[in-house]
Structure 1
Amino acid sequence: MNKTEIMQINPLSEKEFSELEKYLEKYAPVNEEDFPIRSMSALDGYLTALISSPVHYSMDFWLKPLFNFEKAKMKTVEKVINLLLRHYNSIVHSLNVDPENSPFEPLFDYFGEDDEGIFITDFWCMGYLKFVELSDILVEGGEIYLNEIAKGATFMFSYHQENENNDKLELPSASVAEKMADEVIEAVYQLHYLGRTAYLQAQEEDLKIEDNVTHH
């Protein structure tokens, strides 16, 4: 899918979110030795990194680490792809099209009951980093922001390490968790801007080369 191509926005319903997550669990490649994408939170991070990449990738490239459809019926594959692209496009819309009225909201995991819980960044950030590792590309100037996402990927682990001597291990406070989430979101915006800028600059260079070839 071209980065400039915007499909009609049709966000997934709660039922469809659950459905896509079940497909992630059912068709996840068994040979994935590193972190497998088996939750909507991790998928959301993975797709966000894809969208923010300075390079355009074929669907086959980024789909393989997510699903193994060898034993799936074609009707099922088509349904999964449809759900996947609709969610992809919702992220594109929030990052590129209307960030003020439709701000980007990562699908961080939520722990706790009702308003007493906190958002946890770990799995979302692990999904983001998985695509970055897959693409093996880091946009110039992006290292400092990627480090923030790496911190988000180990947020709970680091918190538990720092508080392992406590008699009762509890969740981080809302303020601590919110600070981590805000830092991750800011890093995502910065990486997206850098990636988008690099992508558009590369397109302009390609057009210049084509124009020079045409006139010689």
Structure 2
Amino acid sequence: MQQLDESLEDEELALLDDLLLEYGTERENGYNILSLSELDGLLTAILSSPELVAPNQWLPAIFDENAQESIPDENTFNLLLSLIFRHYNDVIQRLNSPLFYAYFDEGIDDFVILDSWCSGYIFGAKVSGWGNLPNKIQGQYDLIRSFAYFKGDDLNLDDHPSAKETQERAAKVEQAVMAIYQYFLTLRNR
């Protein structure tokens, strides 16, 4: 059994992605965590929060109250929880490294898909109860929110960015994430 502080291997990341799709809770409002990218965004926001967010506050964002019953066996349930917590610890390490990177979905030809990660991040901020943000970081949050998608949002079907443009947008999102994280980290350390 892997230790909780060990980063997930590529095969484990793929397994986590598959298990989330199979056992994550799909909600009518579109706030879902059904992929690795959405989970990575959710956990990044939770770990960036001004206050510590306990697992019993954010795990229901992934599963409903019947999660243990809907997963066929205890071993699968425990494996899924282990993968989630190892990924949680990996997000902590990435946020505290000199160069943060997000697990964005990728399309063909180096096209970066931002909406699922950004949606997970916005959901994480909601779960964490961020509320109104100071002007200093509101623009950073708004940038991330601009790439998120939830049921009922209007899609901009005229926006057809190139792969290079999506990579540039991804870099801006990662910079915004770090600005928010550093801002709240400074407050927590006071």
TM-score category of the 2 structures, normalised to the smaller one: 0.7 to 0.9
Q: TM-score normalised to the size of structure 2?
A: 0.83
Q: TM-score normalised to the size of structure 1?
A: 0.74
Q: Percent identity, please.
A: 28
Uncovered stretches (5+) of structure 1, i.e. residues with no partner: 1-6, 163-170, 202-216
Corresponding residue of 2:152: none
Decide whether the 8 Å contact of 1:125 with 1:150 is kept in 2. yes
Corresponding residue of 1:184: 173
Partner secondary structure for residue 112 of structure 2: strand
Partner secondary structure for residue 70 of structure 1: helix
Decide whether the 8 Å contact of 1:123 with 1:153 is kept in 2. yes
Q: How does 1:86-165 map to 2 (within 5 A)?
A: 86-96=86-96, 99-100=97-98, 103-112=99-108, 116-138=109-131, 139-140=133-134, 141-153=136-148, 157-158=155-156, 160-162=157-159
Uncovered stretches (5+) of structure 2, i.e. residues with no partner: 150-154
- The Cα shift of 1:120 comes to 1.7
Decide whether the 8 Å contact of 1:94 with 1:104 is kept in 2. yes
Distance 1:58 1:94 in 2: 19
Give RMSD over aligned pairs.
2.0
Larger Rg: 1
Distance 1:198 1:9, change over 3 A: same
Residue correspondences, number: 177
- Matching residue's letter, 1:190: A
Corresponding residue of 1:14: 10
The structure with higher relative contact order (CA 8 Å, sep 6+) is 2
Structure 1 residue corresponding to 2:47, chosen from 41, 48, 51: 51
- The Cα shift of 1:26 comes to 2.1
Bigger drift between 87-96 and 183-192 goes to 87-96
Corresponding residue of 2:24: 28
- The Cα shift of 1:174 comes to 2.5
